[in-house]
A = this chain, B = another copy of it.
Amino acid sequence: MIQDMKSDICLIKKRHKTREIRIKDLTIGGSNIIRIQSMCNIKTAYFKKVLNQIKKLENAGCEIVRVSVKDDDDINGLKKIIKSAELPVVADIHFDYKLALKSVEAGVSKLRINPGNITDKWKIKEIVSAAKNNDVPIRIGVNLGSLEKSLLQKLEAGKISVENAMLESALSETAYLEELDFKNIVVSLKTSDVLSTVKSYMLFSKKRNYPLHIGITETGTLRCGLIKSSIGLSQILSYGLGDTIRVSLSADPVEEVYAAYKILGALNLRKDTPDLIACPTCGRTEINLIKIAGEVEKILFNVRKPIKVAVMGCAVNGPGEARDADIGITGGKGVGLLFKKGKIVKKVKESEILGVLKKELDAMIK
């Protein structure tokens, strides 16, 4: 009841209307759900390991997966991966346009090219021609770290702002693809600076309506990365922008998928993720709440239902404070309590409370 109440303040702007683009069986853009993607961090040539990682990502809820294609060994791996993977596979291409052509031939679902890394127009033209003939969309993935040389020089001379340099790179590449009558385009404009990235997406969205792949790049470790990505992506999403999301972390890619769900969930932009409520511990806490909350998080890791679960440190106030949780546990001095919607439904030994919760959750999920 409580969480459905609304005031008239609107924190999330109306979604920016973008074109629809097909990636294998998925459609992104328009009013379609914001899709979650990640990237494998194993060399694509090692296709068995990569497929194993893709399976894990899929279990975590990943919907599009990207692999880097760096040489012909990777192309061989890519072929095998595309044959076996359920998820749409995106090939990440830098420098060598021939690898893009070979990736299309291998049956890839989408290409990512970096405008700063393939600059000869005739090479782009060949890529576009292959993509067009095979109905493969292209992401123009602008990255501050690898802008075209001319833009970098302007940047370093202080003649252009970061966000305008990003915009210019994205616009000149889209303009060239449009010249070639190709509009099967997705665009990203990533920097490692949170605010510059938000501004770059805002500027581009005023100029074109291609679907946006959103992300903050090079955000660092799990901690730093979660913080910068959560801030930047929530800002971008609040402006109504974003059709597919990647949280870039220097961590296991599964963490990227988990974080993406949590970010979209906190903004009510996806409902298929549980919400875990846990009180910050304080001097009144009498159980090992940090450990128990961690265990509950593990149980919920791959769950794709909108269940609200609470872990409270205080048996007296806990159930009441978490009264809008579908299910919750609390404990203290040897006793574990299971509660639903604020009402205590079971009292067990503290040591048994996690097992009881798991059983109840399994039943709720089925």
Contacts and interface: CB of A to CB of B under 8 A. Distances in A.
Interface of A: 1-3, 5-7, 9, 11-12, 39-44, 50, 67-68, 70, 74, 92, 143-146, 155-156, 158, 160-164, 192-196, 198-199, 202-203, 217-228, 230-232, 234-235, 238, 248-252, 255-256, 258-259, 262-263, 266-268, 276-285, 289-290, 293-294, 297, 310-312, 317, 320-323
Nearest to A294: B221
Contacts of A276: 220-221, 224
A354 to B, nearest CB: 14
Nearest to A297: B221
A259 B226 CA distance: 10
Contacts of A164: 7
Nearest to A256: B280
B227 A266 contact: yes
Given A226-B223, A226-B226, A294-B221, A11 B235 contact: yes
5 contacts: A1-B155, A39-B282, A41-B282, A68-B283, A226-B226
Nearest to A249: B280
B290 A223 contact: no
A326 to B, nearest CB: 14
Contact of A228 (B68, B161, B266): B266
Given A224-B276, A278-B218, A297-B220, A5 B162 contact: yes
A162 B2 contact: yes
A53 B277 CA distance: 25
A301 to B, nearest CB: 10
Contacts of A323: 145
